[in-house]
Amino acid sequence: WVYYHAGQYPEAEQQYLALIKKFDDQFNSAPTRDVVRETRMLLSNICVRQKRLPEAEEWLEQVLDEFPEGVGAYNDLGYLWVDQDKRLQRARRMIKVAVDAEPENAAYRDSLGWAYYRLGQFEEAIEELLLAAKTSQQDGVIFDHLGDAYFANGQAGKARESWKKAIKLFTPDEEEMRTSVKEKL
């Protein structure tokens, strides 16, 4: 956990893999299974940060194999697929399950909005992304996605406003995203 939050992903990955190896075959304790599930979710996130997307997907699929009701994994896997522009209909359905389970979750709403965007349903995308932005006004990714949806829907002025807000909200470790949004402007 300390390595992960310090951005030392290779070290965090090694520790999490050791934890999986030690506890993966212990099914007699629900708290142990929850730790294994959360570890797989974190390993997926580490793989995403290192741009190892097939591995990230595999970790989430393992979570869903054991916890088929895991809406967090539904959202995360659906978002990975949407972001790669693949399996869009299935990803949208998975993300919708997560949104229905937790309608106030801004990350899930952002994922659904992004799915609608990728499907070319820009008005639905804007609607979902506005709900996400209302709930989480400090997330640059949401405002970047909202800008993309506005732009695709022919609303260049609103797109620029959203992208400018995104640029202000990106954290120092999101500099690559900030640069990408600046290029859009």
In tens digits, the chain (185 residues) has pLDDT values of: 899 988 899 999 999 999 999 999 989 999 999 999 999 999 999 999 999 999 999 999 999 999 999 999 999 999 999 999 999 999 999 999 999 999 999 999 999 999 999 999 999 999 999 999 998 878 999 999 999 999 999 999 999 999 999 999 998 888 999 999 999 99
C-alpha neighbours within 13 Å on the C-beta side of residue 40 = 24
Number of H helices, E strands in the chain: 11, 0
Closest among 117, 111, 119, 177 to 144, alpha carbons compared: 177
pLDDT at 33: 94
Contact 62, 54 (CB under 8 A): no
